[in-house]
Structure 1
């Protein structure tokens, strides 16, 4: 298979001169699909040709072809093959074009790749015959290249194409070792799929070339050969969609189950629900350009997909998570719920504070007991990024022993180095590592690398700590100068002169100051509105811990201390702090106890503004697996520095010599 990957991409050398290196995929990808489809059709060409000649009805034709071929749902109405096209000499371009256009309507891959235009370009460039011959000689039959291997080839070509064009390949290409682990975890808790002639459905809303679906199908068949897995997917990029759809056709799957379009704005399966969902949504995808559509659906509440909240427009990962949850078969259905596995970066674990959209979404997932497990993968696992990545497993009908709990598994140390890096991918998860993760998951192991938490262990209250406003006041030249520079106060006739003539020294009580200053201003005919009066004392005041507390003079808080916004602070109070009940009902008693123990002894005049309290949710994964490493001994550091210094001095002596 490794040689086949090299052989196919090596055809790019033939394209040089006619195509730039970063455009080679425009030809290699559709021609690879063409040869694969041809090899799949080859054993049944005569039988299929007879059916085409006898049956004009499209629906009946496909049904008959599927019957005689054992599941193939496509055909070609011409007699051409790449071999016959190559042998046709001057008619090669016309015959190849006729061949491409002779496929049944479900094969729309060549239109998406604009292959007819490339045929003409290759003809004019004088390389068409060589390209046709090279693909003719590739053996891409199912016997030589099973579906799983073909999926790997497709994805390798996608990777090579995007690497050569300096594009982001991570949107399209999820490494097979990560997919295998994700699929292992997804099926691990589903006994229904392992017995009898089960019919299950699986959906990938960011399907790419269909690699995740292929691995899932093979995995289920290994566990239960009698099971049938119906594959569904949606993809934004036409090229990836076309490859996935062609791959599904070659497997005998329904090509109509692969849809083209933006999953977040145009769900192509609005009424469908699935037993499994798999996805590797793009990291940090900006959704500003679709914000109007997404926000409109959010306003519908839970009658839409995004009722739990909206993450920042700079990162749409949690939109894909909400979409996946919305597509899960309900727990009260005949299948008894659904499971989902999603690859995410670290941001969805902790981004956004209490009251933010991201926090609210996490809270909705936790409060509804949807998160079953999160597995931290080693860094450098993916082709276009070396950042931390995580596998999230969701279940809307957990087993009783998992209900109300979340398992965190740290697999960051289980990766092994690859012999040869692929882009940013330098680490892989091998079978032994997968088995280790699965064992921890299946047994709900509690260890240094596997921990079990209650859902509300990740909930907290963010409380606002206020301190009283204490100001001194004086009409000094420096402070009066600030009043003169004020965009509103500086324009009031007579005010600056009145302030300059105001004596009285320093005031430590705001009301005394305002009373005396008010009398002085009125005596000089200067009147101020309430807003101007407030702006004036704010400009003339300066924080002073020895001053009297400023208090509200009206309203429902009359007589109460006025808070100093510059000293305002927040504290995080975890649910269950101090042994109090881990529930929303324990809010007041827990916060009061926390404040009395952790704040009041150190800031005597502080208080909690309960009207500003917010509930937040965060999953601090790395904190729970942090291991303290003591600093090196200073003597060892000095020794290393001295050794390095002596080595440098030795090199300098050699140069001088």
Structure 2
């Protein structure tokens, strides 16, 4: 930012001196930002103010209701004001400055009024008035010259962004939700756009950019500026959506100030209130909130997912407590078709979307969908402690549906975790920053990633790895081992049978039998008692085959003239069966071995590898009786980024550790000697 811009920001910042004491530092932005917007709009409209008022009166006299398009044309902008007041004019009536300011604000075009309402500006006006500060604040802003001849739209954008940055840093608790550090945005935009820089220099190009969680609009602004750096004559249209009212107001204000169409910034939840339905874009980028649940819009999202790929969430649904991959699916749904030019997009994630969710889960299915469609171009690991409200590791995911031939079928992993500089002063959790030189280096490394990965002599060769897109897929196989049992009857066995549902049900048959010929009641025997007598004859015995046990069981039951029902038989067999590695292998009616659930295991086999060959090589040498239940095999995808860049560091030699311990012991003894004399 130039010295002039810094001076202007500093002058505006002086308003904070008036607010000190009545406002917390973190609340300064609630006053200064909307007043800055108001003053800028006032200065922009000043040359055509009289013409707008005159035309407005004509239209009213003619009974014209829909005046917005006409007045915008007269004003020469996408907004206008039909009140008799100007910002300086408000100072003429100190006693009524609150009422007049409210009338002045109400005179703006509807879209502008909405922006100011989202700032909760009316409450701030009342608060300032009650504190006796309103007139002073208005007077201070009236001194600031924000006319377009003095401050261009481009310059005003820088000023406004600097104010946003300062207020975000004063409110570190929420800064990460609404404000991404500028150097992170710059790196992200560079990686997104750099592969297209030659194409972007084409005369007469028009490009649309979209951010579904745009916050205060920093990513949209940086992307627009980068494209115009490549091509000053390019036409760039920015679109976004934001859920937080204040961030939405700031973003739309920024659009107003820079001459963009503020109507392109929608308010609401991007999932359930898509403000750009059916629209597609050339570039998309986002830093959605990490680990935010989507329970509030759960039913809507499930209904949308039920539409399959005709909706936005057909690939799968992540767990309810993290909607990150929903944002990515939402963005993919807005890609242009490749034949229409295609799309590139970049999104910031924490580590969770890389690997959370096993084979068949929603997260895995989303990764599978992306990789099998060959949309994932790269993942870039960033340094930790880059963001204001979290110190966790973060990653850029960069996707495109128009890969060049050299990149097709490939995925780049770029490790930028060591590219950082320590900040002189921490801002919340942010203790590191990426310098301009490092941004340039990483951008060139990204553009040349395929060459660097093939060149072991390159100094950054170890920071880049290139994989086939299927390398992240795996087959989740179920390895079974046969159920081996012995059979024994003990006192514990009898107790287990007694407690079974089938055995308890027998008691309900107990009752009284009537002796009809004598008219007397005789107590009937408990139906369980014959079973007890029969089973007790078997206590203390062990059988190594099922057939032998069943033979002896039937013989014991025959002494009591009992015939087992299926439920009772099942209860008895469950109680007497004991897993034993030396026991008999149990089989089904077709003679196939039954699996032992307690010995069941799972293996991840690389996608494309023969499962049976894997079994022979990795499993059977250790458990020769194992087999794979192919009916349970699932396909999964995960991206174990850290594993691919892991470098083994051997522990220190024991001799070195031992010597260090002895040295410390000697120092402790010396200190103790000094204390005890």
CA distance in structure 1 between the aligned counterparts of 2:6 and 2:418, rounded to whole angstroms: 28
**1:279 maps onto 2:266 in alignment:** no
Q: Which deviates more, 635-644 or 395-404?
A: 635-644
Structure 2 residue matching 1:472: 3-state secondary structure: strand
Does the CA-based 8 Å contact 1:155-1:209 persist in structure 2? no
**1:464 maps onto 2:478 in alignment:** yes
Structure 2 residue matching 1:51: 3-state secondary structure: helix
CA distance in structure 1 between the aligned counterparts of 2:291 and 2:381, rounded to whole angstroms: 18
Structure 2 residue matching 1:448: 3-state secondary structure: helix
Corresponding residue for residue 62 of structure 1 = 72
Corresponding residue for residue 550 of structure 2 = 514
**Structure 2 vs 1, CA of residues 37 and 222 (structure 1 numbering), >3 Å: closer, same or farther?**
farther
CA distance in structure 2 between the aligned counterparts of 1:201 and 1:474, rounded to whole angstroms: 76
Q: Which deviates more, 450-459 or 144-153?
A: 144-153
2:657 to 626, 631, 637: 637
**Structure 2 vs 1, CA of residues 141 and 612 (structure 1 numbering), >3 Å: closer, same or farther?**
farther
Corresponding residue for residue 582 of structure 1 = none
How many residue pairs match? The answer is: 627
**1:186 maps onto 2:192 in alignment:** yes
CA deviation profile, 1:489-511 (whole Å, cap 9, x unmatched): 45542344432232571111123
TM-score calculated relative to the size of structure 2: 0.87
Does the CA-based 8 Å contact 1:36-1:140 persist in structure 2? no
Cα deviation for residue 415 of structure 1 reads 1.0
Cα deviation for residue 479 of structure 1 reads 2.4
**Structure 2 vs 1, CA of residues 6 and 236 (structure 1 numbering), >3 Å: closer, same or farther?**
same
1:373 to 365, 370, 378: 378
Does the CA-based 8 Å contact 2:25-2:170 persist in structure 1? no
Corresponding residue for residue 348 of structure 1 = 353
**Structure 2 vs 1, CA of residues 509 and 14 (structure 1 numbering), >3 Å: closer, same or farther?**
farther
Corresponding residue for residue 407 of structure 1 = 412
Cα deviation for residue 422 of structure 1 reads 1.0
**Structure 2 vs 1, CA of residues 547 and 217 (structure 1 numbering), >3 Å: closer, same or farther?**
same
**1:319 maps onto 2:355 in alignment:** no
**1:563 maps onto 2:564 in alignment:** no
Does the CA-based 8 Å contact 2:44-2:147 persist in structure 1? no
Structure 2 residue matching 1:572: 3-state secondary structure: strand
CA distance in structure 1 between the aligned counterparts of 2:669 and 2:643, rounded to whole angstroms: 44
CA deviation profile, 1:353-412 (whole Å, cap 9, x unmatched): 111111111000000010001100000111111111001111011111111111110000
CA distance in structure 2 between the aligned counterparts of 1:43 and 1:259, rounded to whole angstroms: 24
2:255 to 236, 248, 253: 248
**Structure 2 vs 1, CA of residues 49 and 645 (structure 1 numbering), >3 Å: closer, same or farther?**
farther
Corresponding residue for residue 177 of structure 2 = 171
Cα deviation for residue 128 of structure 1 reads 2.3
Corresponding residue for residue 608 of structure 1 = 628
Cα deviation for residue 50 of structure 1 reads 1.9
Does the CA-based 8 Å contact 2:475-2:604 persist in structure 1? yes
Corresponding residue for residue 97 of structure 2 = 92
CA distance in structure 2 between the aligned counterparts of 1:251 and 1:506, rounded to whole angstroms: 88
CA distance in structure 1 between the aligned counterparts of 2:563 and 2:6, rounded to whole angstroms: 87
Does the CA-based 8 Å contact 1:407-1:452 persist in structure 2? yes
Structure 2 residue matching 1:352: 3-state secondary structure: coil
Does the CA-based 8 Å contact 2:414-2:463 persist in structure 1? yes
Corresponding residue for residue 393 of structure 2 = 388
CA distance in structure 2 between the aligned counterparts of 1:13 and 1:339, rounded to whole angstroms: 45
Corresponding residue for residue 429 of structure 1 = 434
CA distance in structure 2 between the aligned counterparts of 1:37 and 1:508, rounded to whole angstroms: 90
Q: Which deviates more, 85-94 or 608-617?
A: 85-94
Does the CA-based 8 Å contact 2:482-2:626 persist in structure 1? yes
CA distance in structure 2 between the aligned counterparts of 1:313 and 1:370, rounded to whole angstroms: 25
Corresponding residue for residue 548 of structure 1 = 584
Corresponding residue for residue 587 of structure 1 = none
Cα deviation for residue 625 of structure 1 reads 0.6
Corresponding residue for residue 643 of structure 2 = 623
- When Rg is computed on C-alpha atoms for both structures, the one with the higher figure is 2
CA distance in structure 2 between the aligned counterparts of 1:100 and 1:653, rounded to whole angstroms: 80
Does the CA-based 8 Å contact 2:376-2:398 persist in structure 1? yes
What does 1:26-41 correspond to in 2, within 5 Å?
28-39=29-40, 41=42
Structure 2 residue matching 1:636: 3-state secondary structure: helix
**Structure 2 vs 1, CA of residues 529 and 412 (structure 1 numbering), >3 Å: closer, same or farther?**
farther
Cα deviation for residue 99 of structure 1 reads 2.3
**1:505 maps onto 2:519 in alignment:** no
**Structure 2 vs 1, CA of residues 182 and 532 (structure 1 numbering), >3 Å: closer, same or farther?**
farther
CA distance in structure 2 between the aligned counterparts of 1:639 and 1:6, rounded to whole angstroms: 59
Cα deviation for residue 437 of structure 1 reads 1.7
TM-score calculated relative to the size of structure 1: 0.90
Corresponding residue for residue 150 of structure 1 = 160
Structure 1 residue matching 2:549: 3-state secondary structure: helix
Cα deviation for residue 31 of structure 1 reads 3.7
CA deviation profile, 1:130-166 (whole Å, cap 9, x unmatched): 43344445566675654134224224324424x3xx4
Does the CA-based 8 Å contact 2:31-2:124 persist in structure 1? no
1:482 to 496, 511, 514: 496
CA distance in structure 1 between the aligned counterparts of 2:16 and 2:501, rounded to whole angstroms: 68
Structure 1 spans left out of the alignment, 5+ residues:
67-71, 578-589
Cα deviation for residue 516 of structure 1 reads 2.6
**1:294 maps onto 2:294 in alignment:** no
CA distance in structure 2 between the aligned counterparts of 1:218 and 1:639, rounded to whole angstroms: 59
Cα deviation for residue 512 of structure 1 reads 2.7
CA distance in structure 2 between the aligned counterparts of 1:85 and 1:315, rounded to whole angstroms: 49
Does the CA-based 8 Å contact 1:470-1:543 persist in structure 2? yes
**Structure 2 vs 1, CA of residues 611 and 341 (structure 1 numbering), >3 Å: closer, same or farther?**
same
- Cα RMSD of the aligned pairs, angstroms, is 2.5
Cα deviation for residue 419 of structure 1 reads 1.1
CA deviation profile, 1:303-361 (whole Å, cap 9, x unmatched): 0000111111111111111001001111121xx10110101111111111111111111
Cα deviation for residue 421 of structure 1 reads 1.1
**Structure 2 vs 1, CA of residues 21 and 47 (structure 1 numbering), >3 Å: closer, same or farther?**
closer
**Structure 2 vs 1, CA of residues 396 and 513 (structure 1 numbering), >3 Å: closer, same or farther?**
same
CA distance in structure 1 between the aligned counterparts of 2:558 and 2:9, rounded to whole angstroms: 90
Structure 2 spans left out of the alignment, 5+ residues:
60-66, 454-460, 507-527
